Chain A
Amino acid sequence: MHLKDEVAKISQRLRELSHGRHLDKAVWDKVELARHPKRPYTLDYIEHMFAGFTELRGDRCYGDDSAIISGLAAYHGRTLMVIGHQKGRDLAARTRRNFGMARPEGYRKAQRLMHLADKFGIPVLTLIDTPGAFPGAAAEDRGQAGAISGSLMCMARLSVPTVAVIIGEGGSGGALALALADRVLMLENSIYSVISPESCAALLWKDSTEAHLAAQTLRMTSSELFELGVIDEVLPEPRGGAHRDHAAAAHILKEALEDKLRELDELTPQIRKKERSEKFRQMGVWRENGLTLF
């Protein structure tokens, strides 16, 4: 009667055994938490963290991308430039925000506002929560690749302190475009990866239902990325996940931000830039003359 299910279960078990590893349910739980529909988004953090926020819109070239929120925030008597991906809470908002998938306009808006922040010595906070940059023919025609690389270069050159926090999904180049910062933090139940587990499974396993295995193999959870030296700190979430208590999650983020900005304020712009460059230069593992170098 349930033979088909049994066969599927056994073949899955066989695959796991042949790979010499077991599916760790905790990894997929984190992927689901990172995508939880009630998880706090950029606007939720802005609301709880700052006394005031003025949104600045438009890339001055083509349009305004609602998938990226940006503006000036009042923070402990100083100003902060906050730039972050924004997903929608309901269907209408999700469509308007394009599920947090930014188009070139979004990345060009981010660049414009980072230059603005740089001019007036305003520190930049970026909040990352995107499945990836929007894949569409029109976005390609308007230079999606150039918009992302431009944003990377912009962040590489900034002289003001920059802090990036991955608050949900950190999907590929679309996430990295806002995450090339002096300090890169990750909320405990967020993920950060070169490719979504579904796409990776479709490409490498030729089977998108292997996403659980792909997620585990890619190492996309905060603790694994901290071990790999890709992020600077993991921020704990309220019990049960950030979606349980937005205010508490925002409070944790605010304290971490205060801490990191205090550290970065001590350094000169030249040293900050040098350390940033050095940090990303170190990322990668290869063998040279028989030695494995980290």
Chain B
Amino acid sequence: MAQQVSVDISRRNGSTDLPGAESCPSCKQLLDVGELEANLKVCYHCGHHFRLNASERISQLVDAGTWNEMAGNLRSADPLDFFDLRPYPERIEEAEFATGFSEAIRVGTARINKMDVVLAVMDFSFMGGSMGSVVGEMFWRAAEAAVETRYPLVVVCASGGARMQEGILSLMQMAKTTFAVDMLGEAPVPFVTVLTNPTTGGVMASFATLADVIISEPGALLCFSGPRIIEQTLKEKLAEDFGLAESNLDHGQIDMIIARPDLKSRLVQILGMLEGGVACALQPLWEEEARPARRRGALAQAFGRIKAIANAPRRAFKR
């Protein structure tokens, strides 16, 4: 019988502020901060992926100087006059102060390896990356921008789920973002999500799993109900790999796991292939190859067409 071990959640959390040297939460090795930063915040001993905030993610992912932020002036309101141990506006202010961002998502246009994209990046350090009205609206605007510009939409997810302080309105963001994804599908514009540690709850059960291609970082916790909720409500001991990206891949819930150093190039490759699909379908390469050239110039014509097809996805990168 397989031995089941309870999941230590704290072990998975990479700290984001590193003083001088940091020990890897996974392999416990001491790491030099400078080297860690140079290695994209991936442990150079064991490959543990530290958590990134939105700014770090954007600077890692996009070509220098191409980030063009949109709708950065949206702020959460307090529609329910929510007060638990502290009022909701106070929690927002604190998160704004701690992170320097106004919300748990940042949206903009950018270039990734010279390819134009609309990029949305969620930030777990802002109230657990929780989805409230602003995150829903920003996602909608990102989708709208993608449809308008016909650039693919890339969303880097990191979220604990719906934001409780906005109550039912947070739940409704799951519905709202679903309609946004539907809009992308009708265009159609490629939509790829990159799930990072952790992506759970309402975000996982809405746009994160509705993407055309779902990518994950290694070791990310991806689930609807978190390990704590399952252990508490069902008194069920969980396997050590419960909800991890690797387990999700085994169970067919995501397309692939890509390590951070490869993310940029693989992402562009996948988007290029999705975009190139239209051109390839119009000019079937295989028929030209199978049919012998009968008249003069037909061969040259065929070559020209093959060349055009070969260039089609690349055209999307060069602008």
Contacts of B164 in A (CB 8 A): 194-195, 200, 203-204, 218
Does residue A56 face the partner (Cβ distance < 8 Å to B)?
A: no
**In contact, A149 and B175 (Cβ under 8 angstroms):** no
Q: Determine whether A57 belongs to the interface, using a CB cutoff of 8 Å to chain B.
A: no
> Using a Cβ cutoff of 8 Å, how many contacts connect chains A and B?
194
B236: Cβ under 8 A from any A Cβ: yes
Instruction: Say whether B176 contacts A283, CB under 8 Å.
Output: yes
Q: Which residues of A contact B253 (CB under 8 A)?
A: 143, 145-146
Flag B242-257 by CB within 8 Å of A: 1 or 0 each: 1100010001110000
Q: Shortest distance in angstroms between A106's beta carbon and chain B's nearest beta carbon?
A: 13
Task: Tell me whether B224 and A152 are in contact (CB under 8 A).
Answer: no
For A198, give the chain B residue with the smallest CB separation. Answer: B233
Tell whether, in the assembled complex, residue A153 and residue B181 are in contact, meaning their CB atoms are under 8 Å apart: yes
Is B168 a contact of A281 with CB atoms below 8 Å?
A: no
The distance in angstroms between the C-alpha atoms of A176 and B179, with both chains bound, is 14
CB distance from B274 to the nearest CB of A (A): 18
In the bound complex, what is the Cα–Cα distance between A145 and B224 (angstroms)?
5
Question: Which residue of A19, A218, A277 is within 8 Å of B182 (Cβ)?
Answer: A277
Contact indicator B162/A286 (Cβ below 8 Å): no
Q: Whole-angstrom distance from the CB of A130 to the nearest CB of chain B?
A: 13
Q: Is the CB of B252 within 8 A of A143?
A: yes
Candidates B73, B79, B205, B225; contact of A288 at CB < 8 Å: B73
Given contacts A140-B225, A141-B247, A194-B162, contact A135 B230 (CB under 8 A): yes
Q: How far is the CA of A153 from the CA of B234 in the complex (A)?
A: 29
- A220 near B168: Cβ-Cβ < 8 Å: yes
State how many residues of chain B have any CB contact under 8 Å with chain A: 61
Q: Give min CB distance, B224 to chain A, whole Å.
A: 4
- Inside 8 A of A140's CB, which chain B residues have their CB? 223-225, 230, 242-243
B174 touches A152 (CB 8 A): yes
Cβ proximity bits A269-287 to B, threshold 8 Å, 1 near / 0 not: 0000000110011011111
| Interface class of chain B by DSSP | helix
Q: Which residues of B contact A219 (CB under 8 A)?
A: 80, 167-168
**B173 CB contacts on chain A under 8 angstroms:** 283-284
Interface residues of B in 253-292 (CB under 8 A from A): 253
In chain A, positions 119-139 with a C-beta closer than 8 Å to chain B are 133, 135-137, 139
| A144 interfacial contact with B, CB 8 Å | yes
Q: Do A137 and B238 form a contact, CB below 8 Å, given A149-B207, A280-B176? A: yes
B178 at the interface (CB under 8 A from A): yes
B182 CB contacts on chain A under 8 angstroms: 153, 156-157, 277
Contacts of B238 in A (CB 8 A): 137
Contact flags A183-218 to B (C-beta < 8 A → 1, else 0): 000000000111100011001111000000010011
Query: B residues within 8 A CB of A146?
Result: 205, 209, 253
* Contact for B77 among A135, A153, A173, A292, CB less than 8 A: A292
A126 to B125, CA, bound (A): 38
Check A286 against B133 for contact (C-beta < 8 Å): yes
Choose, from B50-58, B134-142, B146-154, the stretch at the interface.
B134-142
**A203–chain B nearest beta-carbon distance, Å:** 7
Shortest A217–chain B CB gap in Å is 6
Decide if B169 touches A230 in the complex (CB within 8 Å).
Answer: yes
- Find chain A residues with CB under 8 A from B170 CB: 194
Q: Would you give the 0/1 interface string for B189-208, flagging 1 where the beta carbon is closer than 8 Å to chain A?
A: 00000000000011011111
Could you tell me if B224 and A230 are in contact, using CB atoms closer than 8 angstroms?
no
Known contacts A137-B242, A283-B176, A287-B76; 5 additional CB pairs below 8 A are A149-B178, A217-B83, A277-B182, A284-B133, A286-B75
18 contacts between A and B (CB under 8 A): A21-B83, A133-B205, A135-B229, A135-B230, A136-B234, A137-B239, A140-B225, A176-B174, A194-B167, A204-B164, A217-B80, A218-B164, A219-B80, A219-B167, A277-B183, A283-B176, A288-B75, A292-B77
Which residues of chain B have a CB within 8 Å of any CB of chain A?
73-77, 79-80, 82-85, 132-134, 136-137, 140, 162, 164, 166-176, 178-179, 181-183, 201-202, 204-210, 222-225, 229-230, 233-234, 236, 238-239, 242-243, 247, 251-253
Closest 4 CB pairs of A and B: A284-B133, A135-B225, A204-B84, A285-B79
